[in-house]
């Protein structure tokens, strides 16, 4: 006990629970209680000014990872990297989320998903430059075709005329 309280017996020393991510910060003495803190990878979920952390939970899973095994009040969740086709864009205590299936929405995948981002869906717009290039290509091909037809017909006309002039 750290001060007179009128109680007949001393309080029991608290033991930090390493199975729940707690580590002893300072031991119990006749006048001070045990103080616990959280091990790396854990955060304090119940802090007492008198005795320090009363319970620890795992840190949220970082972006690109999701919960693989849910925790409870005293034990946090386990994290694992997001599997192919899933993502987690921010720290959370949730499983990874499946990528949006753009085709199911009648859209195109403009950018594939990653472990930290969802797929980006939309309609691929044809730019003005692309439209101009297609139109110009069509005009060039059409002009070449007309020129070829003209040359072939002209030669054919000349051959016919030459045959009419030369009766042999």
pLDDT digits (tens, 9 = 90+) for 48-100: 777 667 778 777 788 999 887 655 444 455 778 999 999 999 988 789 999 99
**What are the structure tokens assigned to 19, written together?**
């199975």
Do 47 and 6 fall into the same domain?
yes
Q: Residue 14 is part of which domain span?
A: 1-59
Give φ, ψ of 89 to 5 degrees: -85, -10
What is d(CA 46, CA 38) in angstroms, rounded to the nearest whole number?
Answer: 11
Distance between CA atoms of residues 35 and 29, nearest Å: 11
Lookup: tokens for 100: 């949006």
Q: Indicate whether 135 and 100 sit together in one domain.
A: no
Q: In terms of domains, do 119 and 132 share one?
A: no
pLDDT of 119 reads 96
Would you say residue 158 has pLDDT above 90? no
| Residues 117, 65 within the same domain | yes
Q: Is pLDDT at 2 greater than 80 in this prediction?
A: no
Shared-domain flag, residues 130 and 99: no
Q: Which two tokens stand for residue 152?
A: 């072939």
Summarize pLDDT for 112-122 with one digit per residue, the tens. 999 999 999 99
Say whether both 15 and 34 belong to one domain: yes
């Amino acid at each position: 006990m750290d001060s007179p309280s009128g109680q007949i017996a001393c309080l029991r020393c608290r033991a930090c629970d390493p199975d729940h991510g707690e580590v002893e910060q300072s031991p119990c003495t006749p006048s001070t209680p045990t103080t616990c803190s959280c091990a790396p990878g854990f955060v304090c979920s119940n802090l007492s000014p008198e005795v320090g952390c009363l319970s620890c939970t795992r840190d949220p899973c970082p972006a690109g990872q999701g919960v693989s095994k849910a925790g409870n009040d005293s034990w946090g969740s386990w994290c694992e990297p997001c599997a192919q086709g899933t993502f987690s864009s921010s720290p959370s205590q949730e499983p990874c989320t499946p990528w949006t299936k753009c085709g199911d929405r009648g859209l195109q995948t403009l950018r594939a998903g990653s472990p930290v981002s969802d797929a980006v869906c939309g309609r691929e717009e044809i730019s003005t430059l692309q439209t101009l290039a297609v139109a110009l290509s069509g005009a060039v091909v059409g002009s070449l075709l007309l020129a070829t037809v003209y040359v072939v017909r002209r030669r054919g006309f000349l051959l016919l005329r030459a045959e009419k002039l030369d009766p042999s």
